[in-house]
Amino acid sequence: MSVIRVLGGAVLGLAASVAFAADPDQAIRATLTKLQPDMPIEAIAESPMTGLYQVHLKGGRLLYASADGQFLMQGNLYQFKGDDAVNLTRQAESKGVAKEINSIPTSEMVVFSPKEPAKAHITVFTDTDCGYCQKLHSEVPELNRRGIEVRYVAFPRQGLGSHGYNSLVSVWCAKDRQAAMNQAKSRQELPAATCDNPVAKQYELGQMIGVNGTPAIVMGNGELIPGYQPAPELAKAALEAK
173 is catalytic: no
Cα 164 from Cα 125, distance rounded (Å): 13
Domains along the chain with CATH numbers: 3-83 (3.10.450.70), 100-241 (3.40.30.10)
The residue among 217, 226, 76 whose CA lies nearest residue 148 is 217
Q: Which of 29, 61, 151, 157 is catalytic?
A: 157
Q: Which of 29, 61, 129, 130 is catalytic?
A: 130
**Phi-psi group of 12: left, alpha or beta (phi > 0 → left; psi -120 to 50 → alpha; rest → beta):** beta
Whole-number Cα distances in Å, 124 to 83, 107, 120, 186, 231: 34, 15, 13, 17, 13
195 is catalytic: no
**pTM > 0.85: yes or no:** no
Give 73's strand partners: 11, 64
User: Can you give the pLDDT of all 242 residues of the chain as single tens digits?
Assistant: 444 444 544 334 443 344 444 599 999 999 999 999 999 999 999 999 999 999 999 888 899 999 999 999 999 999 998 888 999 999 999 999 999 999 999 999 999 999 999 999 999 999 999 999 999 999 999 999 999 999 999 999 999 999 999 999 999 999 999 999 999 999 998 999 999 999 999 999 999 998 999 999 999 999 999 999 999 999 999 999 97
Helix or strand (DSSP H, E) at 165: helix 163-172
